[in-house]
Amino acid sequence: MHGDDLPGLVERTKPPFRMLIRAMSKPRLLLAPPSPEDPWQAIIRKKSQGEFGMSEHGQDQQLERLTFFSDAVFAIAITLLIIEVHVPHPESRTDQAWLQALVDLIPQLAGFFLSFIVVGALWAAHHRVFGLLRRYDPAIVWPNLFLLMAIAFTPFSTALMSAHPVERVPEIFYATSLLVAGLLQYRLIRKALRAPYLDPSVDAETVAMLRRRSLAMPCMAVLAGVLAFWWPGRSNLPLLLTPLAVMLFARMRSRRPTAAP
């Protein structure tokens, strides 16, 4: 069929087939198959489009999940401290028997108040540091988990110390557990407070102050452990001063050489 016969054929064809014949009669453009994308260019394109990494919303979600999980472990551990303080059941119901039963609970109550203060101080520092973060850092997940493991262990060491308040080994064991928790928190703080995950508004002096504050707990735990060799029982007094030690360490300033006039 010649090209001159196409108009007549189109006119003699029924309307549904006219468009098909006209499309077949037009010249076609030969399109070359798309060339494969260079692998390095694909990586650059995906990185620029945010396919690698995490969006800002995802960063916020991961940081919030880590913070909420940590708060939950602190809350559970600090609540379990009171479980070891059992309700007394004296044999007689006289006032003297009840008073004696409450007096017998003094070691457990003292251990509860002491560990509540210590765990509360650790949580306050953890809460303060995580409040200064603006981006999620996967590198702090395991240091944070190790700290939470030490916090979750605190109720056991507290119960052991409270059951044997004037014996050397339980007192040293309790101080050692707090020393481990304090050192793990110091490691976490050093790992977390760094760019680019730290809030840009936080200055270097604030970071240095928070790091100094985190050293108060290990120092008090070492002092309590040393005193336990000679004065078990009374060796826990330095741990009661942990909040004051934190304030003292916070007020210390790093000495900087002054410029010569």
Map residue 51 onto helix, strand or coil. Answer: coil
What is the predicted pLDDT for the residue at 245?
86
Name every residue whose Cβ is closer than 8 Å to that of residue 78 and which is 6 or more positions away in sequence. 115, 116, 119, 120, 123
- 179, part of any domain: yes
- 259, part of any domain: no
- 46, part of any domain: no
pLDDT tens, N- to C-terminus, the chain (261 residues): 554 554 555 455 555 555 555 555 555 544 445 555 555 555 445 444 444 455 555 666 888 999 999 999 999 999 999 988 888 888 888 889 889 989 888 889 999 999 999 999 999 999 999 999 988 888 999 999 999 999 999 999 999 999 998 899 999 999 999 999 999 999 999 999 888 888 888 888 888 898 989 899 999 999 999 999 888 878 888 888 888 888 888 887 655 444 333
Alpha carbons 60 and 136: distance in angstroms, whole number: 7
The pLDDT tens digits for 233-249 are: 788 888 888 888 888 88
What is the predicted pLDDT for the residue at 221?
93
Considering its fold, how many domains does the chain have in total?
A: 1
Phi, psi of 198, rounded to the nearest 5 degrees = -85, 150
Per-residue DSSP letter, 2: -
- pTM for the model stands at 0.72
- 79, part of any domain: yes
Residue 133 pairs in a beta bridge with 198
**Residue span of the structural domain in which 99 resides:** 55-251
- 177, part of any domain: yes
- 44, part of any domain: no
- 18, part of any domain: no
- 218, part of any domain: yes
The region that residue 198 occupies, defined by phi over 0 for left and psi between -120 and 50 for alpha, beta otherwise, is beta
